[in-house]
Chain A
Amino acid sequence: MSISIDQSICIGCGKCHDVCPGTLIKINEQRKAFIKYPKDCWGCTSCIKECPVHAIRFFLGEDIGGKGSKVHTEKVNGLVRWIFELSDGSIKTIDIDPKESNKY
Chain B
Amino acid sequence: MIQLVTATGTRVSHPEFDRWLEDIDAERLCALYEDMVVIRRIDTEATHLQRQGELALWPPLLGQEAAQIGSGRALRSDDFVFSSYRENGVAYCRGVDLTDLLRVWRGNVSSGWDPFEINMATPQIIIGAQTLHATGYALGIQNDGADAAAITYFGDGAVSQGDVSEALVFAASFQVPVIFFCQNNHWAISEPVGLQSRVPIADRAPGFGIPALRVDGNDVLAVLAATRIALDRARTGGGPTFIEAVTYRMGPHTTADDPTRYRDANELEDWAAKDPITRMEALLTHEGLFTPELQAGVAAKADAVAKEMRAGCIGLPEPEPMDVFNNVYSTPNSQLERQRDHYSRYLATLAGAEGSN
A binds B: no
